Amino acid sequence: MNDLRTVKIPVIADGKKFEYLCRDIWDNDSNNNELVAFNGRPGQPQNGVDIFGRKINSQKWFGIQCKARNTSNMLSKKEIETEINKALEFNPKLDHYILATTLHRDVKLQEIAREINNRLSRQNKFRFEIIFWDDIEDMLKEEHNFHIYHKYYKEFFANNESLGHAIGKLLNLELGIGDGADTHYEIMIGKIPKLKNDTSHCVDYYKGNYFIINFHERKMETFPLPCFPSDLEMCFSNRLDRFRITKWINSINNIEKFIYESDDTHHFYLNKKEYEKYLNELGDDE
């Protein structure tokens, strides 16, 4: 399978979709950018700015104009100057103005950008930059943007289950009795798929099973559904916690769907009657 970073990403032809892509990329750079948003709505005057945001460190504003183009519809210097003149009227004043385009890097456009940038610098105006599709590709291939890459190019991503890869969900699990939590675990819960026509041997015992990892005790265990406390003996040393975690697992309607959900903190509390029943059963066992 190809490394996603080496795949040539097809250019987005739809102008509105390209705007959404740019918004998502700049908004995702949360260490540097804040308040990233679309400027107004279609039909309203935008002063040459489709997307705006603010730099966290400097508290200065930046604006982005998005241009979905191809080689038969190149950007002209006149068109660029027109957008810049509009952006100079943006309120509050911009510190950085970006023209993001689906065009590939072009020597002539880069030269125009340098000339304009020099002039704007002498006039104490904003910094101007053209971001080409090649630059957008590089941004998408950065690890922290992989979820955006997946959002717009799902067909490039193989399904882990179809490849036979186990997939797990990392989460915080808070356990308690009544209304309050008394125990915290950091765990991973997942599934090992079983494929049709699979010719593997030896490891077959584990295929089709679910697994859970207890990072606190550095232990793991596989389990079936429904799950019983005895299934988790090798993973969780505390008997009450095994009982509660088992009930939590069995309360999940669809583990396959649960694994792919984005929430990473879960709570499970026994009510008083359930706890009393647990204690009674514990006494009977002893």
Does the pLDDT at position 155 exceed 70? Answer: yes
Please, what sign has the CA dihedral across residues 150, 153, 156, 161? positive
The answer to whether residue 195 scores a pLDDT higher than 80 is no
Per residue in 196-227, pLDDT (tens digit) is 555 556 777 788 889 999 999 999 999 999 99
In what side-by-side order are the strands of the sheet with 33-38?
A: 33-38, 51-55, 61-67, 94-101, 127-131
Nearest in space to 242 (alpha carbons), one of 180, 175, 177:
175
The band of 1, judged by pLDDT with boundaries at 50, 70 and 90, is very low
Q: What is the pLDDT of residue 281?
A: 85
The conformation of residue 9, written as its DSSP 8-state character, comes to P
| DSSP conformation class of 93 | P
* Cβ-based neighbour number of residue 46 at 10 Å: 20
Between 184 and 73, the more confident residue is 184
Query: Any residues with CB less than 8 A from the CB of 270 and at least 6 apart, and which?
Result: 176, 177, 178, 244, 247, 278
210 alpha-carbon distance from chain centroid: 24
3-state helix, strand, coil in the chain (%, to 5): 40, 25, 35
pLDDT greater than 50 at residue 114: yes
Q: Residue 189 pLDDT more than 50? A: yes
How many CB atoms neighbour CB 22 within 10 A? 23
State how far the Cα of 33 lies from the Cα of 56, in Å rounded to an integer.
5
Our CA angle for 274, 278, 284, nearest 5°, is 145
Average pLDDT over residues 57-64: 98
- In order of their start, the domains of the chain are 4-156 (3.40.1350.10), 160-285 (no CATH)
CB 141 within 8 Å of CB 170: no
Cα-to-chain-centroid distance, residue 11: 21
More confident residue, 20 or 44: 20
Q: Name the pLDDT band for 164 (thresholds 50, 70, 90).
A: low
Instruction: Cite the DSSP H helix spans in the chain.
Output: 15-28, 77-87, 107-122, 133-140, 146-152, 160-163, 239-251, 255-260, 272-285
Neighbours of 229 (CB within 10 A): 17
pLDDT digits (tens, 9 = 90+) for 254-268: 998 898 888 899 999
Q: Which two tokens stand for residue 191?
A: 């599934």
Find, among 88, 81, 100, 89, the residue nearest to 36 by Cα. 100
Greatest mean pLDDT among 4-8, 206-210, 271-275 lies in: 271-275
The pLDDT-based confidence of 90 (bands split at 50, 70, 90) is: very high
Instruction: Examine the pLDDT at 144 and tell me if it is beyond 80.
Output: yes
At residue 148, does pLDDT exceed 60?
yes
Q: Tell me the two tokens of residue 116.
A: 């304009």
